[in-house]
Amino acid sequence: MSAKILVVDDTPMNVKMLADVLTFKGYQVVTAGGGKEGLAKVESEQPDIVLLDVMMPDLDGYSVCRAIRANPATAILPVVMVTALDPTQERVKGLEAGADDFLSKPINQAELLARVRSLLRIKEFHDQVQAQARELADWNRRLEQRVADGVREIEQMGRLKRFLSPQIADLIVSGTLSGSADDPLKSHRREITVVFLDLRGFTAFTETADPEEVMGVLHEYHNEMGRLIMAHNGTIEHFAGDGIMIFFNDPVVIEHPAREAVNMAIQMQADFAGLTQAWKKRGYDLHMGIGIAQGYATLGTIGFEGRRDYGAIGSVCNLASRLCGDAKAGQILVSQKVFGLVEELVTAEPAGELSLKGFHKPVPAFNVTGLK
């Protein structure tokens, strides 16, 4: 869009001459027949430059220029004073009023256009500086907000570590992950090992137990399982009551994610046996089933501004969930792919081909019973 020039002069012939010259050169021209109207046009039209006559009956050019400079919104608006008086004397007055340049009447068209182009270049540069300043101010506000958020994040580090291993949480808080060229927090595809676990007998337990008892059991269960998840560098996708979804190999790459996941699951079942014995003394009959699958998924942050989590979406998640749902108390059901990756390390038995919801064909599965 071409620059907009405001011509302020109480002589119609002068206004027409300037407007014709400038319009012919492609500029947008708005006009005012006096100083007061000129100030109103400055506010309403927001011109890029003002050509301002000195001698006007209602408000002279110096007063108009001083008013323009007094307004923070127009303090740097280029103003060219146009005068037929003694240029030397008027130049001093104009500079004191805040004018940027002068033109003597009668107007030399070439000089007029040269001065307009020069001042517009200066204004364009200033506009760029102002835009950068606004951007910098915006970044400063964001930085201040991030600092404030950072304080809250530090205060809530325990919450973040409930979702991620301490190593991953530290990387995210420090910005190491999200600041990299290949930002793992953005949506991406990767092969992961997914682990689902939940409790057997939990629904019946919640129907008879007090809410405080249920929360106490969940706290003990999550605390014990969470300790093992962190120890094996797992990423907690979500808690859903007694259900927990964990995945391996993202956002931090693990050399053998299936082995890490299965080793974690075996330790989980071993440690859970201690919880089971303690709960039995309190009258709670609870056990745990685990399902593990490996495959490609889409990963990244999910949620909305102010509440985001790190999640995975894909059929591998559904498969691990369905295997978990089919697992009996104490079982670790793994997909054929996972079994192939850990076969030399574990003892296992075929669980047959399972008809799982959402899968058209029976799915071969194996029950891992321990480490060799």
Q: Is the pLDDT of residue 151 over 80?
A: no
Question: Do 103 and 251 belong to one domain?
Answer: no
For residue 182, the model assigns a pLDDT of 56
Helix 166-174 and helix 109-155, axial crossing angle in degrees, nearest 10: 160
Average pLDDT, the chain: 86
Question: Do 177 and 112 belong to one domain?
Answer: no
Strands (E), the chain: 4-8, 28-32, 49-53, 79-83, 101-104, 188-200, 235-240, 243-248, 287-304, 307-313, 332-335, 346-354, 363-371
Of the two residues 327 and 133, the one the predictor is more confident about is: 327
In angstroms, how far is CA 306 from the centroid of its own chain? 10
- % of the chain surpassing 70 pLDDT: 87
Sign of CA dihedral 341, 343, 344, 345: positive
Q: What is the pLDDT of residues 238-291, one digit of tens each?
A: 888 899 999 999 888 889 999 999 999 999 999 999 999 999 999 999 999 999
- The number of helices, as runs of H, and strands, as runs of E, in the chain is 12, 13
For residue 100, the model assigns a pLDDT of 86
* Residue 367 identity: N
Of the two residues 46 and 133, the one the predictor is more confident about is: 46
128-142, 164-178, 297-311, 353-367, range with greatest mean pLDDT: 353-367
Q: Which of 67, 102, 129 is the last residue of a domain?
A: 129
Domain hosting 191: range is 165-371
Question: Do 120 and 172 belong to one domain?
Answer: no
Question: Do 104 and 220 belong to one domain?
Answer: no
For residue 304, the model assigns a pLDDT of 73
Q: What is the pLDDT of residues 62-71, one digit of tens each?
A: 999 999 999 9
DSSP H stretches of helix in 156-256:
157-161, 166-174, 202-208, 211-231
For residue 95, the model assigns a pLDDT of 80
Q: Which of 129, 146, 179 is the last residue of a domain?
A: 129
In the block, residue with structure tokens 């007090």:
210
In the block, residue with structure tokens 């989590």:
309
Q: Which of 129, 148, 183 is the last residue of a domain?
A: 129
**Is 146 within a domain?**
no
Helix 61-70 and helix 87-97, axial crossing angle in degrees, nearest 10: 20
Answer yes or no: pTM beyond 0.85: no
Q: What is the pLDDT of residues 93-115, one digit of tens each?
A: 878 888 888 888 888 888 889 88
CATH value at residue 86: 3.40.50.2300
Q: How confident is the model at residue 37 (pLDDT cuts 50, 70, 90)?
A: very high
Q: How confident is the model at residue 181 (pLDDT cuts 50, 70, 90)?
A: very low
Question: Do 196 and 343 belong to one domain?
Answer: yes
pLDDT (mean) for 200-229: 92
Q: Which residues contact 114 (CB under 8 A, 6 or more apart)?
A: none
**Is 205 within a domain?**
yes
Q: How many domains does the chain have?
A: 2
Count Cβ neighbours within 10 Å for each residue of 307-319 and write b for 16 or more, e otherwise: eeebbbebebbbb
Q: Which residues contact 205 (CB under 8 A, 6 or more apart)?
A: 199, 214, 217, 284, 285, 286
In the block, residue with structure tokens 């000129």:
38
Q: Using CA atoms, how far apart are residues 272 and 277, in angstroms rounded to an integer? A: 9
Q: Is the pLDDT of residue 353 over 50?
A: yes
Q: What is the pLDDT of residues 354-368, one digit of tens each?
A: 999 989 999 999 999
**Is 106 within a domain?**
yes
Q: Is the pLDDT of residue 164 over 60?
A: no
Q: How confident is the model at residue 178 (pLDDT cuts 50, 70, 90)?
A: very low
Report in angstroms the alpha-carbon separations of 167 from 59, 218, 231: 70, 25, 10
Question: Do 320 and 184 belong to one domain?
Answer: yes
Count Cβ neighbours within 10 Å for each residue of 88-97 and write b for 16 or more, e otherwise: eebbebbeeb
Question: Do 61 and 201 belong to one domain?
Answer: no
**Is 138 within a domain?**
no
Q: Is the pLDDT of residue 48 over 50?
A: yes
Torsion angle of the four alpha carbons 125, 127, 131, 137, in this order, in degrees rounded to the nearest 10: 100
Q: Using CA atoms, how far apart are residues 77 and 199, in angstroms rounded to an integer? A: 71
Question: Do 54 and 187 belong to one domain?
Answer: no
Question: Do 246 and 173 belong to one domain?
Answer: yes
For residue 179, the model assigns a pLDDT of 43
Quote the tokens at residue 162. 């409930």
